[in-house]
Structure 1
């Protein structure tokens, strides 16, 4: 009985360690998440201010605030809600013998690679996204509300400033990916 419990614990430890360490290139994964946030930002439709004047004073005048949508909590929720579910549309694609990149899959039936493996990668990046948001969501939300998160700058803010998964600009990161040092199996 004790031996079977030990085996079960060892298997659970191995599975947990494999899932946690499955994203080897956190910078590339973070950039894919940032790309999805940028898609959300660029597809935003103009919105009216949020009218929070629902109470009436003694003279019958509406009381409360009118909040600009661009700095509202609602905008943050709409941008980040379901983000990690959208990451399940991504998988790893081999670029060359040493380098992989995260790409959006439009049609899973037309994949040239093993579909089970591709789906496993999509679950990996989705769970990575959850951990990334858990670590950075409060600061990211504040920056979105302040207006400092704009299309074209999400990767720098999320991957360099907040999560520290990328230490340099994405252009120089791409150059480092071509170095002769092995990055590990993705």
Structure 2
């Protein structure tokens, strides 16, 4: 009887750790900042030539798809995004404010590294849940060309997930991401 109860408690504690993002708006803005980085690193690509079949006259059949409006582009932008969030941790600015920061060198961190790594796992898990909730809509908006550099936070955190709706004062705290 004690073993199943202990097992159940350990599962609940793991789930509570994974869901411990207090400020979802700040976390969402960090994910949006990483997606902004992905957008800024994008290189121009040729259109996707999907004309692989030949008709009876030897002419190629199919479509040529603009890469910027393709499913491939959306997948490439979102693929690996949550793994990249493991480079982020929560930094305490003062007694009441915290901010998600991107860590470029874990060795020079001034905060507890074990705690910082736990925060990085938290935001990575949060990112997975966020994308699970919004992926279809976000992919559709990327394909339509509605997700542009500078607008990702508004689209993802206000419009789709609504984690930042009505919290413009908290948004300004995360501009440095």
Q: Same fold (TM over 0.5)?
A: yes
Q: Equivalent residue for 2:119?
A: 121
Q: Equivalent residue for 2:35?
A: 37
Q: Could you report, residue by residue, the CA deviation over 1:150-185 in whole angstroms, capped at 9, with x for unpaired residues?
A: 000000000000001001364x225699xxxxxxxx
Q: Residues 106, 67 of structure 1: CA spacing in aligned structure 2 closer, same or farther, 3 A cutoff? A: same
Q: Equivalent residue for 2:15?
A: 16
For 1:148-163, list aligned pairs within 5 A: 148-163=146-161
Q: Secondary structure at the match of 2:91?
A: strand
Q: Equivalent residue for 2:142?
A: 144
User: What TM-score do you get using the length of structure 1 for normalisation?
Assistant: 0.89
The alpha carbon displacement at 1:102 in A equals 0.4
Q: Equivalent residue for 1:167?
A: 165
Q: CA RMSD in A?
A: 1.6
The alpha carbon displacement at 1:17 in A equals 2.1
> What stretches of structure 2 of length at least 5 have no aligned partner?
none
The alpha carbon displacement at 1:96 in A equals 1.6
Q: Could you report, residue by residue, the CA deviation over 1:38-76 in whole angstroms, capped at 9, with x for unpaired residues?
A: 111111000010000001011111111000000000000
1:25 to 23, 26, 37: 23
For 1:45-64, list aligned pairs within 5 A: 45-64=43-62
2:4 matched to 1:5? yes
Q: Equivalent residue for 1:181?
A: none
Q: Residues 71, 174 of structure 1: CA spacing in aligned structure 2 closer, same or farther, 3 A cutoff? A: closer
2: CA distance, partners of 1:88 / 1:175: 23
User: What TM-score do you get using the length of structure 2 for normalisation?
Assistant: 0.94
Q: Equivalent residue for 1:111?
A: 109
Q: Equivalent residue for 1:180?
A: none
> What stretches of structure 1 of length at least 5 have no aligned partner?
178-186
